[in-house]
């Protein structure tokens, strides 16, 4: 799952720019990987990764010997994840579906939603729809572990500096995604939304740049709010886990939400 894509008007790189930007902006994040590995190790059966993108977490878990189902709503990202899994000979199934409306006809001992995936689902109704699907896919005693973060740790967006640029390279092209603005959006009462505006610049080997603007919208809400919605659907809140802050990324609270045991 990712924010709605913004297309370049005259893109000409010999690769999919949406895949490339996802890799540049998300692929280098590693602070949460030890936690997902720890949670997956004792899990019996496959792990479901919601909003898997190009496979940052899913491929890592599969490389560690886990059976993984990677779910994302963007077909290009799903195909990239599947291609990488095949090339590495990993036990991974990539599925294109919305986290709010998937039906896989199987259950999982662990469902994860890394890197603020649930904050890209819009309002509380979207999150509740996602919870309904998760509950239907959890084994008895299984755990749902979504990561949540406030990009500004309770400070007004205007008082916070944008994060540093994300950079990468592919097929001779230089890729730079620069956040230049963080702002609060005027949303409905009770809903707080923060927008991060970026300029994505792909520079050809010849030096010709291709630029496009993109905005990522994150819903910001207390972890207790999502926990309460999960409890209303029959899950039990276990002690939270924490992903530490890094120089480039804010930390996360990871809710631990357990399905009733048989």
CA–CA distance, 238 with 245 (Å, rounded to integer): 22
- Kindly report the CATH number assigned to the domain that includes residue 203: 2.20.25
**DSSP classification of residue 260:** P
pLDDT of residue 188: 60
**Same domain, yes or no: 73 and 190:** no
**Same domain, yes or no: 60 and 186:** no
**Same domain, yes or no: 226 and 122:** yes
pLDDT of residue 180: 87
- 143 lies in some domain: yes
The two three-digit tokens of residue 167, written as one number: 């950079």
**Same domain, yes or no: 91 and 168:** no
- 6 lies in some domain: no
pLDDT of residue 5: 47
Strands 108-113 and 138-148, sheet pairing:
parallel
- 9 lies in some domain: no
Distance of CA 174 to the CA centre of its chain: 24
Q: Which of 32, 23, 2 is nearest to 147 (CA)?
A: 32
**Same domain, yes or no: 120 and 235:** yes
**Same domain, yes or no: 41 and 141:** yes
pLDDT of residue 82: 98
pLDDT of residue 161: 59
**Same domain, yes or no: 44 and 172:** no
Beta bridge partners of 216: 196
Output the pTM of the full model: 0.89
Residue 42 to residues 45, 46, 119, Cα–Cα distance (Å): 10, 11, 27
Quote the number of domains for the chain.
2
Could you list the pLDDT tens digit for every one of the 262 residues in the chain? Answer: 444 444 444 557 889 999 999 999 999 999 999 999 999 999 989 999 999 999 999 999 999 999 999 999 999 999 999 999 999 999 999 999 999 999 999 999 999 999 989 999 989 999 999 999 999 999 999 999 999 987 665 444 455 556 778 999 999 999 999 988 888 886 665 678 888 899 999 999 999 998 999 999 999 899 999 999 999 999 999 999 999 888 777 789 999 999 998 7
- 1 lies in some domain: no
- Kindly report the CATH number assigned to the domain that includes residue 135: 3.40.50.150
**Same domain, yes or no: 191 and 214:** yes
**Same domain, yes or no: 208 and 229:** no
**Same domain, yes or no: 142 and 188:** no
Q: Residue 233: give the domain boundaries.
A: 17-150+222-258
**Same domain, yes or no: 77 and 97:** yes
**Same domain, yes or no: 228 and 199:** no
pLDDT of residue 4: 46
């Amino acid at each position: 799952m990712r924010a709605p894509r913004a297309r370049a008007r005259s893109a000409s790189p010999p690769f999919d720019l949406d895949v490339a930007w996802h890799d540049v902006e998300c692929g280098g994040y590693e602070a949460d990987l030890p936690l997902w590995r720890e949670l997956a190790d004792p899990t019996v059966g496959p792990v479901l990764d919601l909003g898997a993108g190009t496979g940052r977490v899913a491929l890592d878990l599969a490389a560690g010997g886990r059976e993984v189902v990677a779910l994302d709503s963007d077909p290009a990202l799903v195909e990239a994840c599947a291609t990488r899994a095949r090339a590495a000979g990993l036990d991974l199934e990539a599925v294109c579906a919305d986290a709010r409306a998937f039906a896989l006809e199987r259950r999982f001992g662990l469902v994860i939603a890394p890197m603020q995936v649930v904050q890209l689902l819009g309002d509380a109704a979207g999150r509740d729809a996602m919870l309904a699907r998760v509950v239907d896919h959890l084994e008895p005693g299984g755990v749902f572990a979504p990561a949540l973060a406030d990009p500004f740790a309770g400070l007004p967006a205007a008082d916070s500096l944008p994060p540093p640029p994300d950079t990468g390279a592919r097929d001779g092209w230089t890729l730079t995604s620069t956040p230049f603005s963080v702002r609060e959006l005027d949303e409905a009462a009770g809903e707080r939304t923060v927008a991060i505006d970026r300029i994505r610049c792909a520079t050809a080997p010849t030096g010709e740049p291709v630029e496009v603007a993109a905005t990522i919208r994150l819903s910001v809400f207390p972890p207790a709010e999502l926990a309460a919605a999960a409890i209303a659907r029959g899950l039990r809140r276990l002690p939270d886990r924490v992903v530490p802050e890094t120089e480039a990324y804010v930390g996360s609270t990871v809710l631990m939400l357990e399905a009733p045991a048989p």
